[in-house]
Amino acid sequence: MAMSDRLLRAWYNGHPLLAVLSPLEYLYRRVVERKRARFMAGEGEIYRPPVPLIVVGNITVGGTGKTPLILWLIEHCQRKGLRVGVVSRGYGAKPPTFPWCVTAQQSAAQAGDEPLLIVQRTGVPLVIDPDRSRAVKALLASEPLDLILSDDGLQHYRLARDLELVLIDNARGLGNGRCLPAGPLREPAERLESVDAVLYNGAASDPPTGFAFTLQPTALINLRSGERQPLDFFAPGQALHAVAGIGNPQRFFTTLEALHWRPVAHAFADHAPYSAEVLSFTPSLPLVMTEKDAVKCRDFASPDWWYLAVDAVPSEAFALWLDQQLQRLLP
């Protein structure tokens, strides 16, 4: 088991040795608290875009369903006639230069898996750059926009924002409630009191402190042909290889089990690179992966490789709240 996997298990399941990390946690908290205090005081170089900007982020390490929710936000705003753009750090991407405008024809190695997925699904203009303020400026220089979504970047305090949406995995919560490296929190839990909305992935109904959303499987899509099949394409009890290189792979495997299949789980690190050799498993079975993994595997996919398309489904209360916020922010 990789060290990162061991830490995740310890953060969410508990481990007595985490106590030795308390001094490092204290130093980390001091740094992030001072960073936010400077932002709130308006100190340092802070860029405020001329159009509204919404940050969709986490205070925890690990997957929370951020990309599906961003896709929902894009489509929701586009249905209202809004011109939406996205900025992202582009984790793992290796473009020739930054800032970099992502197009659907680029490779995941060049553009990053999540940015490429977003562009291929929605066609939105998207710029990656570790400096998100610079990414926003490049995005606005490329074409007129009404609204910008920042894929992550909650802690990127050089960029002003109009709304902060924070996602939390409802099953895992905040783990042990401690900050890095003694726990999974990027910022102290009190940070949730200052954000505009908290969304709980997997909650059955809106909790008192936020909104619920779920990830709904919609179809199986063949990596090579693009063929789309309904969820009953595989019979109940079908054995298959399941590949997930996301922040919380177990959530994907549980989804496949809920569809009454028998997945042989193959968990990889978030943003992991793939090859035909790495994904050559025995026995020979159909292979199902996440859409985020699929953007990295199309060039060498076998005929029986599929990805499970999922859509975020937020509560009606969240959709109503968001519409009210958009009405307030946009002329």
- Rounded to whole angstroms, the Cα distance separating 64 from 51 reads 27
End-to-end C-alpha distance for the chain, whole angstroms: 52
**By the 8 A CB rule, do 115 and 108 touch?**
no
pLDDT per position as a tens digit, 14-65: 888 899 999 999 999 999 999 999 999 999 999 999 999 999 999 999 889 9
The verdict on 224 and 285 lying in the same domain is yes
The verdict on 84 and 25 lying in the same domain is yes
The verdict on 108 and 252 lying in the same domain is no
The verdict on 140 and 77 lying in the same domain is yes
The verdict on 319 and 299 lying in the same domain is no
The verdict on 48 and 152 lying in the same domain is yes
The domain tally of the chain equals: 2
The verdict on 195 and 137 lying in the same domain is yes
CATH of the domain at 38: 3.40.50.300
The verdict on 39 and 141 lying in the same domain is yes
Q: Is the per-residue pLDDT at 114 higher than 90?
A: yes
The verdict on 142 and 224 lying in the same domain is no
Residue 273: give the domain boundaries. Answer: 215-312
The verdict on 97 and 246 lying in the same domain is no
pLDDT per position as a tens digit, 171-197: 999 999 999 999 999 999 999 999 999
Q: What is the mean pLDDT of residues 229-258?
A: 96
User: Could you tell me what percent of the chain has a pLDDT over 90?
Assistant: 92
The whole-model pTM stands at 0.95
Q: How many CB atoms lie within 10 A of CB 208?
A: 4
